[in-house]
């Protein structure tokens, strides 16, 4: 039986919840091995990686202290990576609203993102999302946004993999305080899930539900699809 090893960066954040979601998946004739990544040796065992939500500057600092900064950058250049919330910030090309001293990024996805773009912890919210290209896409996915980043720009160049939008927040479901004048449904700030090549980015927390469709999508379409 083929074994596929998916790592979860386990320095800070919701890594245990991602592990539970992966362990619920049924991959038929393949065995899924979950690796909690805390060292470069752990990372070397992985075919793909999930970077969980948490606090992006803290995750970057702990990765540097663990000797993981450069191995993570190299891994991101060659293998599938999914970033959720804080992980989405780390996968971005550039970030707005970084803390004093800047924000170390892994890169990998051609977007500009804003930290805490939807506001503070007390302004967290949940909405049902319509999905594009994911199993049972007509069934809404209940998404939790907690100090979520906001996508500001999609900037895929001609020599890069195209960006596919997987989910947007409909304007009528946005909290009123977040709607700006002249904002349209195609505004990049409505994008909350996207794929570029074998990388996946979600600004919300799929691991906080028992709906595992995003985890299945990542494994089936980003990890197992060459």
- Residues with catalytic roles: 85, 205, 207
Lookup: tokens for 112: 């500009």
Give the pair of three-digit tokens for residue 173. Answer: 């479901």
Tokens 């949940």 belong to 126
Instruction: Say how far apart CA 209 and CA 145 lie, in whole Å.
Output: 12
Locate tokens 């195209």: which residue? 162
The angle formed by the CA atoms of residues 126, 188 and 124, to the nearest 5 degrees, is 20
Q: Tokens for 127?
A: 């909405």
Query: Quick one: which of 4, 59, 61 has its CA closest to 35?
Result: 4
How far, in Å, CA of 150 to CA of 113, rounded?
6
Q: Which helix (H) or strand (E) holds 129?
A: strand 125-131
């Amino acid at each position: 039986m083929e074994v596929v090893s998916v790592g979860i960066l386990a320095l800070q954040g919701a890594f245990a919840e991602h592990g539970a979601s992966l362990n619920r998946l049924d991959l038929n004739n393949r065995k899924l091995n979950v690796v909690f990544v805390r060292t470069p040796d752990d990372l070397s065992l992985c075919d793909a990686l999930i970077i969980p939500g948490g606090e992006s500057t803290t995750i970057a600092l702990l990765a540097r202290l663990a000797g993981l900064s450069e191995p993570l950058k190299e891994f991101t250049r060659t293998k599938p990576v999914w970033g959720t919330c804080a992980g989405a910030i780390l996968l971005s090309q550039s970030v707005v609203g970084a803390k004093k001293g800047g924000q170390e990024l892994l890169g990998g996805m051609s977007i500009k993102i804003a930290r805490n773009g939807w506001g503070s912890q007390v302004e967290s919210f949940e909405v049902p999302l319509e999905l594009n290209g994911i199993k049972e896409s007509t069934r809404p996915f209940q998404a939790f946004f907690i100090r979520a980043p906001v996508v500001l720009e999609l900037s895929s160049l001609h020599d890069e993999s195209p960006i596919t939008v997987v989910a947007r927040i409909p304007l009528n479901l946005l909290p009123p305080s977040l709607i700006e004048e002249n904002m349209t449904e195609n505004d990049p700030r409505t994008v909350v899930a996207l794929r570029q090549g074998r990388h996946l980015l979600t600004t919300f927390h799929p691991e906080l539900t028992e709906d595992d469709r995003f985890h299945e999508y990542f494994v089936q379409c980003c990890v197992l699809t060459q």
